[in-house]
Structure 1
C-alpha cells in the first residue's frame, strides 16, 4: 500500500510536511493537479492533490473551507507548490491541516508536479505488479489446497493470500469453514444479511466504520451451492478480487463434480471408516483419508444412529450422505445392519449431531448416540462409546454419555459391571449358548424399554406374550422380580457395561 508517509520519504522530491501529521498513514491511489477553488467536487478520494493555490487568495476562511472540502471527499494529501501564489505554506492552512489530520506538504519551486505524480504512479504500478506476482503464486497453491484438502483448506489458503478473514457458508447459511480464525458473530450476521437481501446476486459489498464486508456467490449457472464472505478493514483491490473469483470457481467445481465421482468418494470413505471401526488405522494412506474428516487439531468423533430395520437404516444413510454433502462436509458414513455410523469433526458440538438425527427422524424413527473426540487411531473407541450412548437413547433422542459424565465412560466402572454381568447373568448366558436362544437380548430389550412390554416386544420383533414368557423364565433363572425398578436398573447397568 502506497501511503503519504512513503511519498514524503522520497528525498529526491524534497517535500516538506507543514501540517496534518496524523494522516501520514493515508493510502494513495493516484496524484492529480488542479487550481480550481472547488476541486473537491471533481475528486473521489485517495488522491494527492497538487496545487499552487492561485485561486485561494488571502481570505483565511476560503482557504480553511478549501481544505475542509478536500478532506470531506477523502483526499489523501495536499501538496502546495510555493513560488507562485505563496512563498511558503500559510500558517492558517497548516493549522487547519492539523485540525483535520489532512497531510499538507510543501513542494519546492524546482520540483515539477509531474515528478510527484510520476513517483506516485510508478510506486502504485510496482506494488500492483508485486501483487500480481503474489497472485500468480497464490493461485496454484489454492488449486492444490482445493484438490488435496477440500473447501476448508482452500478457505485457509485464500485468507492467507489476501490477508483478510474468510468464511464459507452453505445454502442454509451455516458455516462450512472459516479462516484464519472464527469470524465474529456480528460480521457473520452482516454477511448473512447481505445474502438474504439477494441470494442470487453474484456479489455484494457492505462498508461499516470498522470493516468492509464482501460476499460472493458460489454457484454454477442458475444453481447456488453457497456463499463466500470476506471481512477486512478496507475494500478488496483488483488482485484480491481476482483471487476471490478464483476461489469461488474452485469451490463451484468441487461442488458440481460429476455425481459418479461423488459416489465413488463416498464409497471409498465408507470402506475407510469400516476399517477404522474394526480397529485398523494403520498405514499413512488410510490415516490421510480419515484425516479429511478431522478438525484442525486432527481429532474426530463418531455418531451412531439406530433404526428399526435395515431398510430404514439404508434410507437414513442416503439422507445423511446427501445432508453432509450439502453442508460441504467430507462424507464418512457406514451402515452396519440397522446402525448408521458417521464420522464427524472433533470440534463438532452435540447440537450438530442432534440436527442430523432430527433430519433423519422426519422420515423414520431413529435414536442416536455420540462418542468422544479423539485422534484418528481412537475412531474405534469413539464408535464403541457412541453405540453405548445410542442404546440409552429413546426414539428421536441423541445421547452424549461423555458430555453427561456418565459412569459408563469410566474404564474401571465398565470393567466392574462386565465382571458382575458375567457372574450375575451366567445362568441366562449359559442357557443361550446351550440352546441357541436369545434370552439375554430379550432381557436387554425389556430393561431398555423400562419394563414396557409393547415397546420391548416391538424392538425384538416378537409377540408380547412370547416376550412375557421369556421374561418369566429369566426371573426364575436369576431368582429376581423384574417388576422392581431397582432390580431392572442394576441388571441394565451390568448388560450395558458388558456391551461396552
Structure 2
C-alpha cells in the first residue's frame, strides 16, 4: 500500500512536511497537478494534489476553504511548489492542514511535479505487480485446499489470502463455513439481505461506516448452490476480486461434480461409518471420518427410526440429498428401519429436528429419532448407543436428546445401578430365553414401551394380541409381578433401558 509517509521518505524528491502529520498513513491512488482554485470538484479521492498556488488568493480564508474542500473530496495530501506563488508554505495554511489532518508538504523549486507523479505511479505499479504475483501463488494453494479439504478449507485459505472475513452460505442462507472469524450477526443479516434482494445476481456490495460487504453467487448456469460473502474494513481491490472469483469457480466445481462421483463418495462414507460402528480402527478410517467433524474433531450421532425398511430407504435418500444441498459431508448408514447419521459436534438438536421435519414433510409424521452426546471420533459408537436409547422415548416427529435434557439415563451412576438391577431382577426371563431360544425380553420391552397397550405392543412384535397376552402372563409368573401396575411397569422399563444404555 502506497502512503503519504512513503512518499515523504523518498529522499531524492526532497519533500518537507509542513502540516497535517496525523494523516501520513493516507493511501495514495495517484498524483495530479492543478492550479484550479476549485480543484476539489474534479477529484474522486486518494490523490496527491500538486500546486504552485499561483491562482490562490493569499488570505487565511482562501487557504482554509481550499484545503477544506480538498479534504472533503478525499485527497490524500497536498504538495505546494515554492518559488512561484509562495517562497515558502504559509504558516496559516499549515495550521489549517494540522486541524484537518491533511498532509501538507513543500516541494522545492528544482523538483518537477512530474518526478513526484512518476514516483507515485511507479510505486503503485510495483505494488500491483507484487500483488498479482502473490495472487498467482495463492490460486494453486486455494485449489489444493479445495481438493484436499473441501469448501471449509477453501474458505479458510481465501480469508487468509485477502485478509478479510469470509462466509459461505447455502441456498437456505445457513452458514456452511466461515473464517477466520464468524461474521457478526448484523453484517451476516446484511449479506443475507443482499442475497434475498436479487438471488440470481452475480454479486453485490453493501458499504457501511466501518465495513464493506461483498456477495458473490456460487452456481453453474441457471443453478444456484449458495453465496460467498466477504466482510472487511476496506473495499476489495481488483486482485481480491480475482481471488474471490477463483474461489467461487472452485466451489461451483465442487458442488456440481458428476453425480456418479458424488454417489461414490456417499457410498465410501457409508462404508467408513459402518466400519467405525463395528469398532474397526485405523488412521485412514479416522481421516475420512474427520470430514464430518467440527473444527475440534468432535462428532455426535443421530439415529432416526422409520415405520419400516422401505420408509427408511426413502428417508435415507432424502437425507443424502438434503445434506449435500447444505454443503455437508454425508455420513449416512441405513440398518433396517433405522438410519444412522453422523453430525458435527457443534450441531444442536434443532438441526437434527429440522432434518426430521424435512423427512416427515410428506405427511407420514411417523419417523422419530434420538441424538447422542458430543464425542471424539474414537467414541462414536458410544454416541450411537445413546442416540438409540434416546430414540426409544421419542414419539413421531420428535428427536430426543437425553444428555441435553439432563435425563437420568444419561448419567453413568444411574445407568450402572439400572444395569445391576436388570441382571438380578430379570434373571428368570433372561435364563429362560437362553435355554429355550425365546425372546421374552423383547416382548416385555415392547409391552412396556407401549405403556401396557395390548394392540400397539402386539403390532410392534408382529404377533396376535392373544399370543402377546400369553407371553406377558408367562413373564408375570416368572418375575412374580403384576404388569397392570404402572409403577412396576416403570421400574422394569427403566431397567431394560438402562441395560441397553
TM-score bracket relative to the smaller structure: over 0.9
- Determine the C-alpha separation between the residues in 2 that align with 1:59 and 1:315: 84
Match of 2:213 in 1: 213
* Counterpart contact for 1:79–1:107, Cα < 8 Å: yes
Q: SS in structure 1 opposite 2:334?
A: strand
Partner of 1:458: 459
Deviation digits for residues 408-432 of structure 1, max 9, x if unmatched? 2333432332222122112222333
Instruction: Specify the SS of the correspondent of 2:205.
Output: strand
Is 1:308–1:459's contact at 8 Å kept on the other side of the alignment?
A: no
Moved more, 385-394 or 151-160: 385-394
1:341 offset after TM fit, Å?
A: 0.6
Q: CA deviation at 1:104?
A: 1.4
Gaps of 5+ in 1: none
Describe the superposition over 1:304-343 as per-residue Cα deviations: whole angstroms up to 9, x where unpaired: 1111111111111011101110000010000011110111
Deviation at 1:463, TM superposition (A): 4.1
Partner of 1:407: 408
Shift of 1:2: 1.3
2:110 paired with 1:110: yes
> Which position in structure 1 is the counterpart of 2:420?
419
1:494 maps to 495
Report SS of the residue matched to 1:362. helix
Partner of 1:3: 3
Residue-by-residue CA offset, 1:271-293 (whole Å, 9 max, x unaligned):
0000011111x222111111111
Q: Could you list the per-position Cα deviations for residues 54-100 of structure 1 after superposition, in whole angstroms to 9, with x for gaps in the alignment? A: 12122332322221111112111111111111112122322222222
Distance 1:312 1:146 in 2: 35
Pair 1:337–1:63, CA change in 2 (3 A): same
- Residue of structure 1 in register with 2:300 after alignment: 301
1:353 aligned partner: 352
Does the C-alpha gap of structure 1 residues 455 and 62 become closer, same or farther in structure 2, counting only changes over 3 Å? farther
Q: How far did residue 406 of structure 1 move?
A: 2.5
Work out the CA distance in 2 between the residues paired with 1:32 and 1:482: 96
Measured in 2, the distance between the counterparts of 1:463 and 1:109 equals: 110
* Equivalent residue number for residue 328 of structure 2: 329
Aligned to 2:429: 428
Aligned to 1:390: 391
Match of 2:340 in 1: 341
Q: 1:456 to 1:76 in 2, by over 3 A?
A: farther
- Aligned match of 2:62: 62
How far did 1:445 drift? Answer: 1.9
**Residue matched to 2:481:** 480
CA RMSD of aligned residues (A): 1.5
Aligned to 1:227: 227
- Paired positions, count: 499
Match of 1:92 in 2: 92
Distance 1:452 1:22, change over 3 A: farther
TM-score, normalisation: structure 2? 0.96
Q: Secondary structure at the match of 1:402?
A: coil
Of residues 218-227 and 90-99 in structure 1, the stretch that sits farther from structure 2 once superposed is: 90-99
Q: Which runs of 5+ in 2 are unaligned?
A: none
Q: Decide which moves more: 411-420 or 224-233.
A: 411-420
Larger mean Cα displacement after TM superposition, 368-377 or 143-152 = 368-377
> How many angstroms apart in 1 are the aligned matches of 2:239 and 2:453?
67
Equivalent residue number for residue 376 of structure 1: 377
Runs of 4+ in 1 over 6 A off after TM superposition: none
Separation in 1, partners of 2:120, 2:88 = 23
Q: Distance in 2 between matches of 1:209 and 1:69?
A: 21
1:449-496 per-residue CA deviation (whole Å, 9 max, x = no partner) reads 333344333333344444344333322222212232221221111111
For residues 277 and 81 of structure 1, do their structure 2 counterparts lie closer, same or farther at Cα, with a shift above 3 Å needed?
same
Task: Note closer, same or farther for the CA distance 1:15–1:313 as it changes in structure 2 (3 Å cut).
Answer: same
Moved more, 339-348 or 62-71: 62-71
Map of 1:289 onto structure 2: 288
Q: TM-score, normalised by structure 1?
A: 0.96
Describe the SS at the equivalent of 1:89.
Answer: coil
